[in-house]
Amino acid sequence: MTASTAPLAVAPRPPPTAKKLSGKTLKASETRWDKRGAWFLAFVTAAAVVGLWALSAYQIDVPPHGRGPQGDTVIGYALGFLTVVLYLVVGMYSLRHRRRVQKNAMTRTWMEVHLAFGLVAGLAAVLHSGPRLLSAAPLHGAFLLAWLGLIASGVAGKVIGVVVPRRLTRIEDEALLVEDVNDRQAALRKEVEELLQANLEDAFVDYANNVAPRAIRNPQHYGRRRLRRPDVIEEVWNETNGAAVLPADKHETARRIVTCLVEERFLDQMQRYHWALRAWIPVHVALTTLCFPWLIIHMITVFLL
Ligand code: HEM
Ligand code: HEM
């Protein structure tokens, strides 16, 4: 914030871009306050949930005159009801997210509401049940498990969404689409095959098929050298003792094969990262969908059966 206002104070007439920039910065800080507001409200709600449960456990429903905190006490019903409200609030992100015309800041705020209140929804459901999982009736216990799976998949997705893009940019020279990665891998495989066809000596084939691939590690292993591919190739070449185990006239071709194999290994890892970025979402959405009819079934069974 201060960085953006400082140039305005020094220069009497700021260029138009400076005005634009400061406007953007202000918006960003506005959004940060929205985020903090969402987490603050979620924290207050979580404190109220724990407070209500403690009231039930240590005051209102204490045995012998009560049965301890349960789903069918007054506080149990209140927590169950709150869980449903939170489910609706959190699920609204999905609706807003799908709208084409919307403000970015608004979406980010909804995302924060989604994360913060999603966690509270997990806490409220657990405390609504008693907490009771193993001793709960199987249908209700399984419902709670599915619910916790929904929350856990969301948390996993958030962690993946933060960690994976950072790692991806550390091994990507340029932003690649999954299809580009596939094409590149196919081209590399073809090149290695052609080089092997042209050099069918046992020592060379063994080097290309076994020795070199075994020496190539996960990109994370190379630390900061990951982005300097020639260093990685040199390391593999030295570790496999390529210069000593292969005749001199094969060195250049063998180094080219190492280059292709290193590149392929890195592309493999990129594929895995791209997959991780997408794979959790269907699980999260499927559990969201599953929990809706299950919630109805839960309410019907606890009342009617
Ligand atoms: C995501 C939401 C919910 C989850 C995960 C959940 C889960 C559970 C679990 C695990 C139990 C313990 C069952 C047992 O001890 O056998 C329970 C009990 C109960 N729940 Fe829920 N519940 C939810 C929402 C609701 C709602 C909205 C209501 C009511 C309107 C409700 C009403 C009850 C009642 C009455 C019981 C006591 C049943 C008994 O002891 O037989 N629940 N719930
Ligand atoms: C009641 C609990 C929850 C429900 C019903 C729920 C539902 C959903 C749905 C339906 C989506 C898909 C949105 C879309 O693409 O249209 C979604 C996305 C997502 N959820 Fe949840 N969620 C819950 C809890 C959580 C929690 C606790 C977290 C993490 C702390 C979380 C993190 C995420 C993330 C990161 C996305 C992807 C957002 C994006 O890429 O746009 N969710 N959730």
Please report, in tens digits, the pLDDT of each residue of the chain (305 residues total).
333 333 333 344 444 444 455 555 555 555 577 888 999 999 999 999 999 999 999 999 998 888 999 999 999 999 999 999 999 999 988 776 666 555 666 678 889 999 999 999 999 999 999 999 888 889 999 999 999 999 999 999 999 999 998 888 877 766 677 788 889 999 999 999 999 999 999 999 999 999 999 999 988 888 777 778 889 999 999 999 999 999 999 999 999 999 999 999 999 998 999 899 999 999 999 999 999 999 999 999 998 86
Identify the pLDDT of residue 178. 75
The Cα-based distances of 62 to 11, 56, 76, 125 in angstroms read: 69, 7, 14, 20
Identify the pLDDT of residue 297. 95
Spatial neighbors of 189 by CB under 8 A, at least 6 apart, are 264
Instruction: For ligand 1, atom 13, name the residue with the nearest CA.
Output: 136
The identity of residue 119, as a single letter, is: L
38 CA → ligand 2 middle, Å = 15
53 touches 129 (CB < 8 A):
no
Of ligand 2's listed atoms, the one at least distance from the Cα of 289 is: 10
Instruction: For ligand 1, atom 18, name the residue with the nearest CA.
Output: 71
Rounded CA gap, 70 and 180, in Å?
Answer: 55
**Lining residues, ligand 1, CB within 6 Å:** 70-72, 77, 80-81, 83-84, 125, 128-129, 132, 136-137, 140-141, 143-144, 147, 295, 298-299, 302
Identify the pLDDT of residue 104. 63
- Output Rg (C-alpha) for the chain, integer angstroms: 29
Identify the pLDDT of residue 23. 58
The H or E element containing residue 287 is: helix 251-304
Q: Number of helices (H) and strands (E) in the chain: give both, helices first.
A: 11, 0
Rounded CA gap, 287 and 296, in Å?
Answer: 15
Of ligand 1's listed atoms, the one at least distance from the Cα of 291 is: 1
59 touches 134 (CB < 8 A):
no
Ligand 2 and 114: CB distance under 6 A:
yes
Ligand 2 and 124: CB distance under 6 A:
no
Question: E strands along 118-262, which residues?
Answer: none
Identify the pLDDT of residue 103. 61
The identity of residue 116, as a single letter, is: A
